[in-house]
Amino acid sequence: MNPFKIFPKVIPAFLLLFFFSGSLQSQILKKLGKRAERAVERTVENRVDREVSKKTDAALDSILEPGSKDSSTSPAPNPTNKGSANVPSGEGNTRTEGGNLKSGTTVAPSGAKTIQVYSKFDFVPGDKPLFFDDFSNDYIGDFPSKWDTNGSGEIVKVDSSTEKWFEIKAGSTYLPLAPELPEDYTIEFDILTLGLDKDTSSQAFLELSLTENKSYDWYKAGDNIVSATLPFCQYIDANIRIRNKINKETLINNLIETDMRAVVLEQPHISIAVNGQRFRLWVNERKYIDIPRLVSQGALLKYLRFSPEGLADGKERVFISNVKIAEGGVDLRRKLISEGEVSTNGILFDSGSANIQPQSMGIIRQISQVLQEENGMNLMIIGHTDADGSEDANLSLSQKRAAAVKEALVNVYGIADNRLQTQGKGESEPIGDNNTADGKALNRRVVFKKI
């Protein structure tokens, strides 16, 4: 190429830049100054946040990970995210020899959640189990035995793990074969997604419905319905949609403005609480919906439905697991004030240990709020276990668990040590049958009693 042919085009551009250089330089420096100012502000904020987190973690070492030398860098275990870096495989999936999915299909790893995040989590699970399914008793490739559908689905397994997932298909509706739902109950489950990207439709979502009638059709599900729609779209913020029907009339049909794009890639845990007319929904530890009169007064929404839509067949895939429905989930604060005693199965510990699982902090937080409001109230914290193991070991374990709850109230929420006493009853006061899994779950409990 002849360089002299370029000069007539380049020289005017340089002259124009030179002519306006003073003005441009002034504008550029002004913009850079503002950016630098904002950068300094962000740096200061980040440093403050890091220092606060370090001090909070240090105060919680003995609660979350007793014996840890540096718990500020050791995240809490997240039991709902086992094997999240692996890929589900099962009969009917697209996979290579050996049963694995084709290369290029990956699961985004989920970050472990620390106890200081969960300390603000106010979800309280129901204490009377109605339905639970982790699909452990179902065969890979089969439709799960505790479910019904108008379409198809199958159980898949996460490689190198015993965890199983139920793959649900777009255009189909899925109903857990649970007892009819009462007035107060909670719902929990985990979601796993594959293949979501910038081409995923804005109409890709998972709709959760509570209905009067057992039906696959929204229009035949009854005169009173509630539904929440979780978006899977990745190229725009598609928001959460919440709607209802009360006596056949749609009164609420609203979009909750929030960006869920990263969240749905990271194996989120969904929690729902229905207390009479009130409906609340959390994704992980964050509450997105809290509507006091979403459910029709006096109407019992007795059935739960899962309805995925808008997924590209064979590319975008959605799985659910650890589906739990439990009666209860009422506000423990009011009950403790009015009755002077509450019992809960929602404070969970590591197996055979007094280590509190982080998702239990919602209940402990509510107890702390009562103590902060009722300055004259003191509590006895009583631990109970099931009958597995020896009586002496269970008695010791129940005492340690009661002490761990006290420690959380003191160190996390600032309750005075002298307002709390602890006691362990071991297996001596069962309220359920220790020969069944459900009975054992009822017996593993913590009681708070006013003294």
Tens digit of each residue's pLDDT (9 = 90 or more) over 46-97 = 544 454 444 445 444 444 444 443 433 333 333 333 333 344 544 333 333 3
The domain 332-450 is placed in CATH, from the list 3.40.50.300, 3.40.50.2300, 1.10.40.50, 3.30.1330.60, at 3.30.1330.60
Pairwise pLDDT comparison (417 vs 348), residue with the higher score: 417
- Round to whole Å and give the CA distance between 415 and 208: 39
Q: Identify the residue whose tokens are 């005492």.
A: 399
Per-residue pLDDT at 103: 33
Per-residue pLDDT at 73: 35
Pairwise pLDDT comparison (179 vs 334), residue with the higher score: 179
Query: Where in the chain are all domains bearing CATH 3.30.1330.60?
Result: 332-450
- Round to whole Å and give the CA distance between 423 and 2: 92
Query: Quick one: pLDDT band at residue 112, thresholds 50, 70, 90?
Result: low
- Round to whole Å and give the CA distance between 443 and 9: 85
Sign of the alpha-carbon dihedral angle for 390, 392, 395, 398: negative
Q: Is 266 exposed, middle or buried (0-12, 13-18, 19+ CB in 10 A)?
A: middle
Query: Quick one: pLDDT band at residue 98, thresholds 50, 70, 90?
Result: very low
Q: Is the pLDDT of residue 105 over 70?
A: no
Instruction: List, in order, residues 6 or more apart from 356 with CB less than 8 Å away.
Output: 63, 64, 115, 347, 348, 349, 364, 404, 405, 408
Q: Is the pLDDT of residue 440 over 60?
A: yes
Per-residue pLDDT at 127: 73
* pLDDT one-digit tens code per residue, 289-339: 999 999 998 888 999 999 999 999 889 999 999 999 998 876 788 889 999
Q: What string of H, E and C letters represents the secondary structure of 297-317?
A: CCCCCCEEEEEEECCCCCCCE
**Mean per-residue pLDDT over the chain, rounded:** 80
Query: Where in the chain are all domains bearing CATH 2.60.120.560?
Result: 80-327
Instruction: List, in order, residues 6 or more apart from 173 with CB less than 8 Å away.
Output: 149, 150, 151, 216, 305, 306, 307
311 touches 258 (CB < 8 A): no
Q: Read out DSSP for 248-283? A: TB---EEEE----TTGGGS--EEEEEEETTEEEEEE
Residue 54 is encoded by which pair of tokens? Answer: 């370090």
- Round to whole Å and give the CA distance between 97 and 95: 7
* pLDDT one-digit tens code per residue, 221-244: 899 999 999 999 999 988 999 999
* pLDDT one-digit tens code per residue, 368-405: 999 999 999 999 999 999 999 999 999 999 999 999 99
3-state secondary structure at position 294: coil
- Round to whole Å and give the CA distance between 365 and 41: 32
- Round to whole Å and give the CA distance between 240 and 311: 17
User: Comparing C-alpha atoms, which of 325, 338, 330 is closest to residue 208?
Assistant: 325
User: Comparing C-alpha atoms, which of 410, 448, 424, 413 is closest to residue 332?
Assistant: 448
Q: Read out DSSP for 327-378? A: E----HHHHHHHHSEEEES---B-TTS-PBPGGGHHHHHHHHHHHHH-TT--
pTM: 0.66
Query: Quick one: pLDDT band at residue 439, thresholds 50, 70, 90?
Result: confident
Per-residue pLDDT at 45: 47
* Torsion angles phi and psi, residue 182, rounded to 5: -85, -165
By DSSP bridging, strand 184-194 and strand 205-211 are unpaired
Per-residue pLDDT at 49: 47
Q: Is the pLDDT of residue 16 over 50?
A: no
3-state secondary structure at position 383: strand
* pLDDT one-digit tens code per residue, 399-422: 999 999 999 999 999 999 999 999
* pLDDT one-digit tens code per residue, 351-371: 889 999 877 888 898 899 999
Per-residue pLDDT at 359: 76
- Round to whole Å and give the CA distance between 259 and 233: 10
Per-residue pLDDT at 100: 35
Residue 433 is encoded by which pair of tokens? Answer: 């049958």
Q: Is the pLDDT of residue 273 over 70?
A: yes
Per-residue pLDDT at 116: 64
Q: Is 259 exposed, middle or buried (0-12, 13-18, 19+ CB in 10 A)?
A: exposed
Q: What string of H, E and C letters represents the secondary structure of 365-381?
A: HHHHHHHHHCCCCCEEE
Q: Read out DSSP for 138-200? A: S-TTSPPTTEEESS-EEEEEETTSS-EEEEE-TT--EEE-PPPP-SEEEEEEEEEEES--TTS
Q: What is the CA radius of gyration of the chain?
A: 27
Per-residue pLDDT at 358: 79
Query: Quick one: pLDDT band at residue 114, thresholds 50, 70, 90?
Result: low
Question: What letter represents residue 301's amino acid?
Answer: L
The domain 80-327 is placed in CATH, from the list 2.60.120.560, 2.60.40.790, 1.10.3720.10, 2.40.50.180, at 2.60.120.560
